[in-house]
Amino acid sequence: MSLPALIPLLRAVDSPASLARRTIDDVKASQKTPGLSAAVWKNGAIVWSESLGQADLEDAVRVSARTRFRIGSLSKLLTAAAAARLYEQGLLDIDAPVQQYLPTFPEKSGKITARLLLGHLSGLRHYRGNEYLNAKHYTSVADTLKTIEDEPLLQPPGAKYSYSSYGFNLLGAALERAASQEFLPVIQRQVCEPLQLESTTADDNSKIVLGRTRFYSLTNGEIGNSPYTDLSDRWPSGGFLSTAEDLAHFGAAHLGGPFLKPDTRRLMFTSQRAADGKDTDVGFAWRIATIAGRRVYHHGGDSIGGRAFLLLWPDQSIAVAFASNLDRIKFAETEAMALAEAFA
């Protein structure tokens, strides 16, 4: 029997906090991650948060609730939230061609829009070869588009779902023009400030970032330092740091309250459709799923030296976040639902 299925039985003899601790103990042990942090938000507040292991193995610095991890593609959710707010403010037309905001971006075989970029329906490709490792520092999101701006699309816009981090870089560049502001200040003003996400920031190698974990990789069963990479090539798609508590709070803001209007939330969590009429199970970046009869929204984030996961269970007003400092490890819906079930 799976852990989520066991939760109702275990709850009769154990507290939610004990059940949650058991879940993250199992994750840390099975995945061999040096450090792990998790948090659960329910009905207006963080109801549980715990951190295990080491943020820095060399100096024996323990993980805490303030440890900032690389969150990988959860950065796309920050970008999607900023896009949704600019849409609400009348600054972003999600159905206009992207050239309305970026006139120098080459025309492709069809109209690429913010809506399609948010749903991975643009036809732009994802990483190839060793592009995932980057040592160059970029000072402009627009400069990161040079890799793909002259390439043909994989398929016409809207034809089918095709995951693309470059698509979110393009969206980030469009948001800059829509907001008349550089991308990182857009995220700060539209997302971090209204939600008071004090530990969510770009992973800028050139700056001192308090609480930033070290980053680790597993090679031939041995933990070592991750290869150097500069995430300035992917701010909108995978370049942020955050804590589990910040992530849970960010996710919970999508369940209700003033951050987004109800109509915008419905738009964000409604599956887009490909040209064949089939649902993609992706709205505005968020993935839409049914797990054991429960409708949830979720997204994972993999980075060099990090893994994060965020799950929302709207019927219970629960948000669950995980973050770790080891790449290529596996925790996702099963583990997040176990935490959610503990507090349901």
The pLDDT of residue 102 is 97
The pLDDT of residue 341 is 95
Beta bridge partners of 313: 318
Other C-beta atoms lying within 10 Å of the C-beta of residue 235:
25
d(CA 336, CA 227): 28
The pLDDT of residue 226 is 97
- pTM to 2 decimal places: 0.95
d(CA 313, CA 298): 9
Question: 């971006």: which residue's tokens?
Answer: 105
Do 255 and 160 contact (CB within 8 A), yes or no? no
Domain range summary for the chain, segments of one domain joined by +: 3-343
The pLDDT of residue 13 is 59
* CATH class of the domain defined by 3-343: alpha beta
Burial-class residue 264 by CB neighbours within 10 Å (0-12, 13-18, 19+): middle
Distances (CA, A) of 214 to 33, 137, 163, 178, 227: 12, 19, 28, 35, 11
d(CA 77, CA 114): 14
Do 310 and 333 contact (CB within 8 A), yes or no? no
d(CA 115, CA 135): 31
The pLDDT of residue 292 is 87
Would you write out the chain's pLDDT as a tens digit for each of its 344 residues? 555 566 665 555 589 999 999 999 999 999 999 999 999 999 999 999 999 999 999 999 999 999 999 999 999 999 999 999 999 999 999 999 999 999 999 999 999 999 999 999 999 999 998 899 999 999 999 999 999 999 999 999 999 999 999 999 999 999 999 999 999 999 999 999 999 999 999 999 999 999 999 999 998 889 999 999 999 999 999 999 999 999 999 999 999 999 999 999 999 999 999 999 999 999 999 999 999 899 999 999 999 999 999 999 999 999 999 999 999 998 889 999 999 999 99
Comparing CA positions, the residue from 179, 177, 153, 178 lying closest to residue 167 is 153
